[in-house]
Structure formats: C-alpha cells, structure tokens
Amino acid sequence: MSSVTPRAVPFYCPFCGEQELRPGDPSGWRCEVCERLFELQLVAIGGEA
C-alpha cells in the first residue's frame, strides 16, 4: 500500500546507466555523464481507454 512509484524521473541513461539526465530537446534527453542525446518513449502503463 505504501509502495512509492517514482514516475517523475524513471529514466536512466541507456548508454552508461547513470541518472544524470537533463532535458535537451523537447523530445530528447541529454546525459551529463557520457554526453549522449537520446529520446525516451513513455509507455502508457495499464493501457489507455
């Protein structure tokens, strides 16, 4: 009942695994560690009506 699901920043760098991500492009993120740009696709959990 007290499970906290952080959905604000559930991301981590797919390249180095760090969580030092900063919003770069409107549809992309930039890793501060390896300085790579990548896009994240949010998957709707539970499905949409």
Which one, of 4, 16, 25, lies nearest residue 40 by Cα? 25
Contact in structure between 18 and 31 (CB atoms under 8 Å): yes
Pair of tokens at residue 30: 């930039």
Selected range binding Zn ion among 5-13, 22-30, 37-45, rule: CB under 5 A: 5-13
* Residue of the chain from 15, 19, 28, 40 that contacts Zn ion (CB under 5 A): 15
Q: Does 40 bind Zn ion (CB under 5 A)?
A: no
Q: Does 13 bind Zn ion (CB under 5 A)?
A: yes
Contact in structure between 24 and 30 (CB atoms under 8 Å): yes
Selected range binding Zn ion among 4-12, 28-36, 37-45, rule: CB under 5 A: 28-36
